[in-house]
């Protein structure tokens, strides 16, 4: 993980708190992490948390004034891996259908490296045929997935949809990074 450029995109869900633990672990293992927070993510966890954990500013807006080429272009060119954790049903649909109406969905279309997605949502949502079609499409497009797991969900039910642990996501990111050329 040392010196690997990782984009950690956090979408709106209760599991966003786990992304903070993932960011911390990545940095402790030498990765260079840039966090992207969607508007929904900021309803659950704040940018200052990720800025403190990564030592980098958090990017939240497609039209960030600090990025004259566009944040989606600059970040896509800088990163080696894009990890979306948690990934909501909404972002899965946007990515599967090529929609680009915010920083993350636009960045995804600009990014050419490996993408690791860690879904998190209510069990009924996860099992919905439309969500499963979107997951199948993203897998066909080359995205890799970790989870979701079955377990206790914030909706007070047990079932599939729980985001994988930060440790499991970290382990998958390690595998992805091992497949990258050195010095990229």
Encode pLDDT of 127-173 as tens digits. 999 999 999 999 999 999 999 987 777 777 887 777 899 999 999 99
Rounded Cα gap, residues 62 and 99, in angstroms: 14
Token pair of 134 as six digits: 């979107």
Token pair of 41 as six digits: 């993510």
The contacts of residue 113 (CB under 8 Å, 6+ apart) are 79, 80, 81, 82, 180
Decide if pLDDT at 184 tops 80: no
The contacts of residue 174 (CB under 8 Å, 6+ apart) are 1
Tokens 């890799």 belong to: 144
Give 24-77 pLDDT, tens digit per residue: 999 999 999 999 999 999 999 999 999 999 999 998 888 877 777 778 888 998
Q: Which of 83, 123, 143, 155 is catalytic?
A: 155
Predicted local distance difference test score (pLDDT) of residue 183: 60
**Bridge partners of residue 145, in order along the sequence:** 117
Confidence of residue 86 (pLDDT cuts 50, 70, 90): very high
Higher-pLDDT residue of 182, 43: 43
Active site residue 143: no
Reported as type and span, the H/E element at residue 144 is strand 144-145
3-class state of residue 74 by DSSP: helix
What's the pTM?
0.94
Predicted local distance difference test score (pLDDT) of residue 66: 74
Token pair of 20 as six digits: 């903070």
């Amino acid at each position: 993980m040392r010196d690997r450029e990782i984009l950690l995109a956090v979408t709106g869900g209760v599991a966003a708190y786990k992304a903070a633990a993932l960011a911390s672990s990545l940095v402790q293992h030498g990765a260079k992490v840039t966090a992207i927070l969607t508007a929904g993510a900021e309803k659950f966890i704040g940018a200052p948390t990720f800025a403190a954990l990564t030592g980098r500013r958090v990017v939240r807006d497609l039209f960030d004034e600090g990025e004259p080429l566009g944040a989606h272009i600059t970040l896509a060119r800088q990163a080696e891996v894009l990890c979306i954790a948690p990934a909501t049903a909404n972002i899965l649909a946007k990515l599967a259908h090529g929609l680009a109406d915010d920083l993350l969905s636009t960045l995804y279309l600009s990014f050419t490296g490996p993408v690791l997605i860690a879904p998190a949502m209510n069990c009924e949502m996860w099992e919905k045929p439309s969500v499963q079609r979107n997951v199948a499409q993203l897998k066909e497009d080359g995205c890799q997935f970790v989870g979701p797991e079955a377990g206790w969900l914030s909706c007070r039910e047990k079932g599939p949809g729980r985001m994988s642990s930060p440790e499991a996501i970290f382990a998958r990111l390690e595998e992805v990074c091992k497949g990258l050329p050195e010095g990229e």
